[in-house]
């Protein structure tokens, strides 16, 4: 048992000065005022204490990709994220052939069995070729409920989310099939108009994949999926806040419209994350990284990001319009409690008694200063 003292605790309700107790792998108490005595304590020096980050859309890092179908390589991604304060993540896959998809899902299910991954996310293959982004267009196909059933079987109950373009034949049937199996359906990589997008939400979709990117743009007479998602209180919208995918002014608009309770900060990070500039692959596509920005070599399309989730939190506070951006409490909520709730992930994403002791400590400039995962320091103070 240990107690963190002199802490600035960041909760969904705001920030308070206080203490937090950890016993084993759980948070067992927290409060303000006088610190409980008679136990070991660690003075964190007034640092911000957040829940560990929850990234529900990440494809790789540290030179590895989840699509490698190699559990050992996938653990490099997990460990890289943990060292940077991201303690819960889904293993994200891009479009692949039917056989490769089954092989990849089965491999990631092994890390879900051990609890190292919180689930599996399929960004393809049921997306629009015209909005394929960094997905190989030759591997895209119309939604197929029978194939989806095989994917679920290979995933052994660990498939958590799938992105679908609502305008494709069979899309609404796929959305209904996914939600019936407890899989979150997301709208993305789509040419859908406002009405088609609304139909997907009415069928059960509850997420919008990296809002703005790889979807029909917002227009005042043809509002499309962006307005449909922002207007619907049932929908959580992903936002890649890396300064490349979305302009700060457009990111601020999302926060002001949907609120941090419905904005999930994600990275969409790829294998190059943590390694610097160079040439990499995403699925079967060549990706060039220059000055931290990843693009598909053949088309120039933006290809994922190279940030980790605390970078998105810091940018939400320091670079979005307005004094203190959206504020640390709101930015933290969008990187923790909101994605956890949207995906039905339990005991993570919030500083609360009984939750897993996953903690991210930030210094006054919001740089990572310490990380705890399951009650153990993975990045000591």
Per-position DSSP letters for 221-257, written without gaps between them: SS-HHHHHHHH-TT-EEEEE-SSSSS-HHHHHHHHHH
pLDDT single digits (tens) 64-88: 999 999 999 999 999 999 999 999 9
Tell me the sheet residues that pair with 208: 187, 237
Q: With respect to residue 233, please indicate whether it lies within any of the assigned structural domains.
A: yes
β-bridge mates for residue 164, sequence order: 187
Same domain? 69 vs 29: no
- Return the SS3 of 376: strand
- For the chain, how many structural domains are there in total? 2
What is the pLDDT averaged over residues 129-138? 93
Distance separating alpha carbons of residues 89 and 252, to the nearest angstrom:
25
Q: Catalytic positions, please? A: 268
Q: CA 85 → CA 32, 332, 370, distances in Å? A: 24, 12, 8
* Binding residue ranges: 123, 189, 210
- Residues 190, 61 share a domain: yes
pLDDT band at 205 (very low <50, low <70, confident <90, very high): very high
- Residue 253 shares a structural domain with residue 295: yes
The answer to whether position 13 is within a domain reads yes
Do 226 and 211 form a contact (C-beta atoms < 8 A)?
yes
pLDDT at residue 365 tops 80: yes
Residues 81 and 217 in one domain: yes
CA distance 8 to 20: 10
Q: Is the pLDDT of residue 279 over 80?
A: yes
Q: How far apart are CA 106 and CA 11, in angstroms?
A: 36
The reply to whether 190 and 320 lie within a common domain is yes
Q: What distance in Å separates the CA atoms of residue 68 and residue 97, rounded to the nearest whole number?
A: 13
Does residue 75 form part of some domain? yes
- Chain segment 155-166, per-residue pLDDT in tens: 999 999 999 999
- For residues 18 and 71, membership in a common domain is answered with no
Structural domain contains residue 348: no
Average pLDDT over residues 346-365: 97
Q: Are residues 168 and 293 in the same domain?
A: yes
Q: Which domain holds residue 363?
A: 2-50+355-379
Per-residue pLDDT at 36: 77
- Tell me the whole-structure pTM to 2 decimals: 0.96
Cα gap 258→306, rounded to integer Å: 25
CATH number assigned to the domain comprising residue 258: 3.20.20.140
Q: Cα separation of 267 and 273, whole Å?
A: 10
Q: Are 40 and 84 contained in the same domain?
A: no
CATH number, domain of 24, equals: 2.30.40.10
pLDDT band at 35 (very low <50, low <70, confident <90, very high): confident
pLDDT tens track for 253-277: 999 999 999 999 999 999 889 888 8
Query: Known binding site for Zn(2+): residues?
Result: 123, 189, 210
In a domain, 114, yes or no: yes
- Joined together, the tokens standing for residue 24 give 């084993």
Residues 225 and 165 in one domain: yes
Residues 184 and 274 in one domain: yes
Place of tokens 């990499």: 280
**Are the C-beta atoms of 133 and 104 separated by less than 8 Å?**
no
Task: Kindly state whether residues 252 and 373 are assigned to the same domain.
Answer: no
Same domain for 168 and 29: no
Integer CA distances (angstroms), 180 to 62, 152, 162, 316, in order: 35, 12, 13, 35
Q: Phi/psi at 288 (nearest 5 deg)? A: -105, 135
Check residue 362 and give its pLDDT: 98
């Amino acid at each position: 048992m240990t107690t963190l003292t002199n802490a600035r605790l960041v909760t969904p309700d705001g920030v308070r000065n206080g203490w937090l107790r950890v016993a084993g792998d759980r948070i067992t108490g927290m409060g303000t005022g006088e610190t409980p005595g008679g136990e070991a304590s660690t003075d964190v020096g007034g640092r911000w204490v957040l829940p560990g980050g929850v990234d529900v859309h990440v494809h790789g890092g540290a030179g590895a990709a989840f699509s490698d179908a190699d559990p050992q390589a996938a653990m490099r991604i997990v460990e890289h994220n943990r060292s940077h304060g991201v303690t819960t993540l889904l293993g994200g896959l891009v479009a692949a052939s039917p056989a490769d998809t089954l092989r990849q899902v089965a491999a990631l299910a092994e890390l879900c069995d051990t609890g190292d991954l919180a689930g599996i996310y399929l960004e393809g293959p049921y997306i629009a070729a015209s909005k394929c982004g960094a997905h190989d267009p030759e591997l895209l196909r119309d939604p197929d409920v029978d194939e989806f059933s095989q994917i679920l079987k290979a995933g052994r109950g660990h498939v958590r989310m799938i992105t679908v373009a609502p305008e494709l034949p069979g899309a609404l049937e796929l959305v209904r099939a996914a939600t019936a199996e407890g899989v979150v359906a997301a709208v993305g990589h789509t040419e859908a108009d406002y009405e088609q997008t609304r139909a997907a939400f009415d069928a059960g979709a509850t997420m919008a994949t990296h809002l703005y990117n790889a979807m029909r743009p917002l227009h005042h007479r043809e509002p499309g999926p962006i307005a449909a998602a922002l207007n619907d209180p049932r929908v959580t919208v992903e936002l890649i806040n890396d300064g490349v995918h979305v302009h700060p002014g457009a990111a601020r608009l999302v926060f002001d419209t949907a609120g941090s309770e419905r904005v999930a900060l994600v990275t969409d990070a790829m294998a190059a994350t943590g390694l610097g500039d160079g040439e990499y692959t995403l699925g079967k596509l060549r990706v060039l990284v220059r000055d931290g920005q990843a693009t598909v070599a053949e088309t120039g399309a933006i290809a994922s990001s190279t940030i980790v989730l605390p970078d998105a939190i810091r940018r939400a506070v320091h670079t979005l319009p307005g004094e203190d951006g959206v504020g640390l409490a709101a930015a933290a909520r969008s990187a923790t409690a909101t994605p956890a709730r949207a995906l039905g992930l339990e005991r993570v994403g919030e500083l609360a008694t009984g939750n897993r002791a996953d903690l991210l400590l930030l210094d006054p400039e919001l740089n990572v200063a310490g990380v705890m995962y399951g009650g153990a320091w993975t990045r000591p103070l």
